[in-house]
Amino acid sequence: MKAFLGTGLLGSNWVRAMRKRNDEVQIWNRTESKAKALESIGAKAFSTPAEAVKGADRIHLAVSDDAAVDSVLEQALPGLAKDAIIIDHTTTSAIGAAERTSRWKSRSITYIHAPVFMGPTNALESTGSMLISGDQDVIKMIEPELSKMTGQLMNLGDDPSTAAGYKLLGNHLFMSITAGLADTFTLGKALGFPRDEVVEFIEQMGATPIKARVARILLGNYDAPSWELSMARKDARLMTEEAVRAGMALDVMPALGAHMDKLIAAGLGAKDWSIVTKEAVTEKQ
């Protein structure tokens, strides 16, 4: 029996994929209607995390941040079986992942962090990448199950904070590329270059990894988010905090975070996060 706590954009499609494999899944979500909507495909929705995890030996979790993980797991504790394994797919701080692993181990409950580079479509189709690190005996035990959920399962070793760290590193790369492209398009506009010429220039530079990001931001489809602006803002905060903790400073991310805050304050938090580039890439009317 599996339980899934958090049926947002990713979680709901993971549940759909599990049901396609005929897995029994008990679910909970803070907004109860989102969980109830999945009962039509055979998932069983519960009103509390503790009820949702009863009888489950694998507890999957995909919520918003460190605080939400801690809160939901504390609520789930009364229903957890002692042999249950908690598999957390939430993007969190590296220190948070390490501390949770230790804290739950002291309670004789196994917690392991497995964040992902996956969007909702990836979750439904079992593509994309999942990262994992920590106790290798536990990873070996759950590897067959996790491999069904993703296209690539990347085992990053024994340190329980490594997967979280690499997830932040990867997201920082994606976010930095996008922020840099926004500056590039803005400069091109300032210099009087048509947008298509800027795109051609970028492609001629041979920046193959950037092409997909260019296509995404030019699409301008902000109403069908694969990564909500409010969630991207949380990750930007985590990256900044990690640098500060090490006595360093980021240049682009604090400014990008401030820009995100303005958009969120304008009611755009549920839009696709690429809306941060909207003004830069919009052609003059």
The full DSSP string for 17-40 is HHHHTT--EEEE-SSHHHHHGGGG
Distance of CA 144 to the CA centre of its chain: 21
C-alpha span between 139 and 155 (Å, rounded): 8
Q: What is the pLDDT of residue 30?
A: 96
In the chain, what percentage of residues exceed pLDDT 70?
98
Judged against a pLDDT cut of 70, whether residue 207 lies above it is answered with: no
Phi, psi of 271, deg, nearest 5: -75, 165
Q: What is the pLDDT of residue 212?
A: 80
Q: Does residue 21 or residue 213 have the better pLDDT?
A: 21
pLDDT in tens, 71-124: 999 999 999 998 999 999 999 999 999 999 999 999 999 999 999 999 999 999
Q: What is the pLDDT of residue 216?
A: 84
Query: What is the mean predicted confidence (pLDDT) over 144-158?
Result: 98
Q: What is the pLDDT of residue 4?
A: 98
Judged against a pLDDT cut of 60, whether residue 137 lies above it is answered with: yes
Residue type, 34: K
In the chain, what percentage of residues exceed pLDDT 90?
84
Q: What is the pLDDT of residue 57?
A: 96
Judged against a pLDDT cut of 50, whether residue 253 lies above it is answered with: yes
Judged against a pLDDT cut of 90, whether residue 211 lies above it is answered with: no
Structural contact between residues 132 and 88, judged by C-beta atoms closer than 8 angstroms = no
Mean pLDDT of the chain: 94
* Three-state SS annotation for 233-269: HHHHHHHHHHHHHCCCCCCHHHHHHHHHHHHHHCCCC
Query: What domains are defined for the chain?
Result: 2-157 (3.40.50.720), 164-281 (1.10.1040.10)
Which range has the worst mean pLDDT, 35-44, 168-177, 212-221? 212-221
